[in-house]
Structure 1
Amino acid sequence: MNHLFSYIERTVLHPGVTLNEQYDAFDEVTQLGLAGLTVSPFWVKKFRREMGADHPAALATVIGYPYGYQRTEAKQTEIEWALQDGARDIEVVLNTSALFSPASVWLKIEFAKLVALIHAQEAFFTVVLESALLDTDQLATMIKLAADTGADFLKNATGAIPADFSLDQALQFRRLAPSSVGVKIVADGASVSDMDQLVAAGVERLALSHPIQA
């Protein structure tokens, strides 16, 4: 699967993650030439130092993980610290609870506030949608909302809710997203053939939480 390395982001976000496990993922990113490393906010500063300023891989972190239902002000503070610590890709989890309530209008306001903060520091803004909780209409609406408010990437899942990989659903996510917006797919459980099809369909990033078998 060497030809896929430049599309793969290694994520190390599970609650029991150890420092050694994160160093192993960092070594994979460096040695295999992967696209990026995603760590929790607590570890951003350390891995920015390890990567240095010129490392070609993107250092990403998550905001509002895993359910997105923190107050916007809390997310803003998390983002400010993450940017200060050196993250260059900020993955913000959609507040699904707000979507399912009359407060859904607040989502557009929240995205507008957060994208301004992130883009002011020339970092990428990724919106994470927990696709398994949304029907097709809700998914399409939220994809459009995130794209219209300036998202650089859309991601189809947090990876925190167990779900079997579905190539059809992943390809549908790519079709629903505008071509102007990058797409990240959580690819745990996907075969090499599946990942090839995703890349051929225009998926820019494949997020894997397990070690790569080169």
Structure 2
Amino acid sequence: MQNLSNFIELQLSNPKLSIEEMYSALSTVQQNKLAGLIVPPFWVKKMRRDWGTENTATLGTVIGFPNGYQRTEVKQLETELALKDGATDIEVMLNTSAWFSTQNNWVKIEFAKLGKLIHQQEAFFTVAIDANYFDTPNLQQAIKEAIDAGVDYIKIYKPFDINESLRIKEWIPASVGLKVCADGANQQELQKLINAGVERICINNFTSSQTFSF
């Protein structure tokens, strides 16, 4: 069984998130050498100050959570501030409302603008899609738009299903990473994802009681 710790990415998105929980997650990342930690934009600067010189994980944040409805100018400012505060992985939520307004190219234009800004600062550009609202053709097309914009990672928000995750991986070229939300997955399922080439296993409901013995 492969060691999975360096594939695990914790995301803290609970509206009642406390600073104690934040530092518990940071400690878990440091002690277990996890792949990354994603925090709300408000917390990026503080986490960067206490990140630790030997911590090689990526410090990420989410722009436009949860449905990407903000104007592109607002997302751009939030991205600039996150990069300045020390984020190394910027996750941009796809604007679902703009996506389903099919007479425009708003989503494509937004990806191009933000992707250029993020890559200029040598950070990772992740596009996140709330796939709960997408049928298969729309999800495939949204992934294609993100890939065409030069994305580094695609992240799929949806309740975990091993077969669906493996199917989505088949749509993505080897040059682009896939992040799978895997709350509730068992160790065998996690190993299947890694064997299939999934780069990040995302735990979105992390609690301080969780342990990682992979």
Identity %: 49
The alignment covers a number of residue pairs equal to 209
1:1-214 map, 5 Å: 3-52=3-52, 55-102=55-102, 104-157=104-157, 164-208=159-203, 209-211=205-207, 212-213=210-211, 214=213
Q: Distance in 1 between matches of 2:32 and 2:104?
A: 42
How big is the shift at 1:53? Answer: 5.4
The structure-2 alpha-carbon separation of the partners of 1:54 and 1:83, relative to structure 1 and needing over 3 Å to count, comes to farther
Task: Output the amino acid matched with 1:154.
Answer: I
> Structure 1 residues 99, 177: CA separation in 2 closer, same or farther (over 3 Å shift)?
same
Q: With the length of structure 2 as denominator, give the TM-score of the two structures.
A: 0.94
Give the Cα separation in 1 of the matches to 2:4 and 2:61: 22
Amino acid at match of 1:60: G
Distance 1:71 1:53, change over 3 A: farther
Give the conservation status (yes or no) of the 8 Å contact 2:38–2:61.
Answer: yes
Q: Which runs of 5+ in 2 are unaligned?
A: none
Give the Cα separation in 1 of the matches to 2:86 and 2:156: 24
Distance in 1, matches of 2:52 and 2:112, equals: 30
Aligned to 1:160: none
* TM-score of the superposed pair, with normalisation by structure 1: 0.94
User: Which stretch of structure 1 is more off in the superposition, 184-193 or 94-103?
Assistant: 94-103
CA distance in 2, matches of 1:152, 1:104: 24
Q: Which amino acid aligns with 1:10?
A: L
- Higher RCO (C-alpha 8 Å, min separation 6): 2
Whole-angstrom distance in 1 between the partners of 2:137 and 2:58: 32
Letter in 1 for 2:195: A
Q: For the Cα contact (< 8 Å) 1:184–1:205, is it kept in 2?
A: yes
CA displacement 1:41-83 (0-9 Å, x = unmatched): 0000000000145521110000001110100000000000000
Specify which structure has the higher proportion of helix: 1
Residues 48 and 2 of structure 1: CA distance in aligned 2, closer, same or farther (over 3 Å)? farther
Per-residue deviation at 1:102? 3.2
> What SS does the aligned partner of 1:125 have?
strand
CA distance in 1, matches of 2:35, 2:159: 24
Between the aligned partners of 1:63 and 1:102, the Cα distance in structure 2 is 23
CA distance in 1, matches of 2:172, 2:94: 16
* Structure 1 runs not aligned, ≥5 long: 158-162
Determine if contact 2:159/2:181 at 8 Å carries over to the other structure. Answer: no
Change (3 A) 1:16 1:168: same
How much is the aligned-residue C-alpha RMSD, in angstroms? 1.4
